[in-house]
Amino acid sequence: MIIIKSPREVELMKKAGHVVGEVFNALEGNIHPGMSTLDVANIAEKVIRDAGAYPTFLGYGGFSGAVCVSVNDEVVHGIPSSHRILREGDIVSVDVGATLDGYIGDACRTYLVGICSEKAKRLVEVTEASFWEGVSHVRPGARLGDVSHAIQVYCESRGYSIIRDYTGHGVGSHLHEDPYIPNYGQAGTGPVLKEGMCLAIEPMVAEGHFAVRVNKDGWTARMKDGKLSCHYENSIVVTKDGYEVLTMAPKEDK
């Protein structure tokens, strides 16, 4: 069942989303070669807790990190570690959840570490752009498949593949609510979008084939072919005439 949020709930979602945006403010320009993925997570956790919020992912299903930090061919759910050191040319996805007053903001950014290759930069740029292409179709009366289809076409037309094993989702007082939102599909299909729906839309894009495997830690999902992957996500709310993004950093360009 898809939960329609009341105006009061949407305001609470905005507050939680603002905390997530502040995390990205703190990370931008501060991720560099030589720091560990745990260092990245610690920056994020401090911002979340200083805002009076709680890191949503910590303990979720047994996950041990405050945020997910996934490097290069790791798609999602990378566990922060003091032993995983970022190197020049890496790309690192930081997936952040913050719970404030019972409601959740959920978003992800992928950062370039030091000087990166042009192909890595292009993957990051295309993944982010595919999010905006997808949400440009969000409005009351549209179909969720319109969003999924737009993301797929945008990425595949540029030579990339879409991860099939993981999807976006509804978000609110629970991290994962209905509906699940694949980044591929047919236009004109799926649930009808309605004002007050809150959705976490998150393209996960691969340089090579879309097949993934999960590490022995039971969490970290990575590309089977070892090629780069990228993840970009925002929580949004469907408005009467379109959508509003709830998890942008104050200094990010919408």
- What is the average pLDDT value for the chain, to the nearest integer? 97
Q: Quote the percentage of the chain above a pLDDT of 70.
A: 99
**pLDDT confidence of residue 253:** 60
**pLDDT confidence of residue 143:** 98
**pLDDT confidence of residue 162:** 98
Q: Do the domain assignments include residue 1? A: no
**pLDDT confidence of residue 35:** 98
User: Which residue is associated with the tokens 């939960």?
Assistant: 3
pLDDT-derived band at 252 (thresholds 50, 70, 90) equals confident
75 contacts: CB under 8 Å, gap ≥ 6:
93, 163, 166, 204, 206, 212, 221, 222, 223, 229, 231
Domain extent, residue 20, equals 7-245
pLDDT-derived band at 101 (thresholds 50, 70, 90) equals very high
Give the model confidence (pLDDT) of 177-202 as tens digits.
999 999 999 999 999 999 999 999 99
- What distance in Å separates the CA atoms of residue 237 and residue 187, rounded to the nearest whole number? 20
E strand spans, the chain = 54-55, 68-71, 74-76, 91-100, 103-112, 161-162, 168-170, 177-181, 198-201, 204-206, 212-214, 221-223, 229-231, 234-239, 242-245
pLDDT at 140 over 80: yes
Q: Phi, psi (5° rounding) for residue 89?
A: 95, -5
- What distance in Å separates the CA atoms of residue 43 and residue 238, rounded to the nearest whole number? 31
pLDDT at 119 over 90: yes
**pLDDT confidence of residue 249:** 83
- Specify the pTM: 0.97
User: Into how many domains does the chain fold?
Assistant: 1
Q: Do the domain assignments include residue 221? A: yes
- What distance in Å separates the CA atoms of residue 252 and residue 28, rounded to the nearest whole number? 10
Q: Do the domain assignments include residue 252? A: no
Q: Do the domain assignments include residue 116? A: yes
- What distance in Å separates the CA atoms of residue 117 and residue 242, rounded to the nearest whole number? 36
Q: Do the domain assignments include residue 254? A: no
**CA triplet 56, 59, 62: central angle to 5 degrees?**
135
Q: Do the domain assignments include residue 30? A: yes
pLDDT at 254 over 60: no
CATH code for position 153: 3.90.230.10
Q: Do the domain assignments include residue 2? A: no
- What distance in Å separates the CA atoms of residue 197 and residue 148, rounded to the nearest whole number? 16
Q: Do the domain assignments include residue 74? A: yes
